[in-house]
Structure 1
């Protein structure tokens, strides 16, 4: 059975964006960066990025999200404008601690558990990765960690939209972070972090904060086995089409579609659903996304879409969202990611449009 995780997408307002990557802190360059890992010490200096004391023994991924979140604050994101117990935190990662886990395994095999450093021992649990950021920004409302392969960051956006719409919190910080997978397993992985500050658009405008862009997200599950038969494929087609309609209610097609897919039947079903959008899209990639960028006949400026380098984590879609937020004045953009395991996530990034209803609400707030 094809099921959805989010029954009705809600709008999210982005008030701040921060990016940290070996290819630069501009989403435009980071999103098309290579997949070869960089030793963290060669591109990220925690002393200059975070401060001279107190950060040396944090895992690299924890340092990245702190730097990205600070950049999002500089970029007008202001979670401190809300009470601490009304601030939520969402962390997305697949391999942010993979290197540390391998190191712990090697230490235990060679020396026993007593050989593990007390500074790194707590990080055997992946959800501890975001603790320092949550403490520094007093994100006391709640904290959730998402680890779904490839779709974790967009899944977190879907959950964040529900949390804000239901009144569970007033503002959110979302951080997506990855580190290279040891020994290049699975293609080498990703490296860096993205942070977004999010809240309802009306609330942001009422206190005079500029809205960078709005997001509408959708996460769903397409069981791979359901695609074995014609009836299951037809049902999946209907569910995917409905999800796209909810994410893209406007009659205007997106100006850019960024896809992060694999060669699975699930991704093929997603591409088939996207075919109804009048934007040229790729065939399902044979060996995953192109490691050296799109070939010449896939020039994104001409075809209206972007193909990422090879990705195995959740940072690719997060970087694509950050890039789309920076370019939101150019019109609606769509980011799509899916995995062979059946996870599908969509996010539409749009310029902020002030409606008549919102203008009235702003006047009342004033």
Structure 2
């Protein structure tokens, strides 16, 4: 009898120990609200929307302690549209993220699967578009530099992230085309580095896509993970911010270079403008975009904050010099650690673009394009994290 009780006690202890060394967490975030836009295709519009600031997702993430500072890690995440229950990435079971890998405390983390790119990981958090206090609507025009974390998730990716050493973190990635005899067709690669020390945060990165959009490769039109359709897309970025007391101020620059561009995805219409839908104009040839962003966030109280950002985007397109002015203001109030309410307004104006091109129409991220060169949107919403 004593031996039986001892066996039960020991097995229970081992079960508790094993449980303590591994974990699986269900998590998610819901963002929903109402939005007014002064011009979408020539008409004003009231909409019930989701993911105006942050992606609405649910997912599973886990870690198992393998001993010696080594862990098996994974994440499976699905984005969805709250207002109708549809998948954010059509046809993808876990379109937002799906990866598995090994994490070593002294050597870093190696992951495999569908993941955000390295520049998004390190430079994105310095922008208004990647944060709760700005979000998806505050992204740079056409989300041209992949810094807002709302759309471009890369397939077939092998990614390495270093441990933080004296405030420095380094990441690099390669996304395979998975095509026999066409190794470079729809592949991606990049690297990024960040430095954090006290109130100072700095980051820089580079990212490249080759022939984005082809089926089975790094980013595709099938699930709309390809933002631009182009022979080659190269992105450089650099940014930093500084926190003093309740205020954080930041500056970000990014340069996007597109060769033989033919289309850009519109979240509001669900189509590739300039490609299979040219109703808003054409897109053909080389396109260069430089984004200059200044942002600020100020915490009035632990629960109430105000924030703002301004981005000037200078372009070069087939001999023309289009320019965009994008401004965002937001106030946010948290009623608990997991639930908050926000009010946000975004204004965009474009000038200097050819009248028959996609670029001539203002298009705030997540919304259908304006019929003119300006667009204003105001949204009120709530977020709940679990």
Say whether the fold is shared (TM-score over 0.5).
Answer: no
Task: Choose 1 or 2 for highest CA Rg.
Answer: 2
Normalising by structure 2, report the TM-score: 0.27
Normalising by structure 1, report the TM-score: 0.28
The answer to which structure, 1 or 2, has the higher relative contact order (CA under 8 A, 6+ apart) is: 1
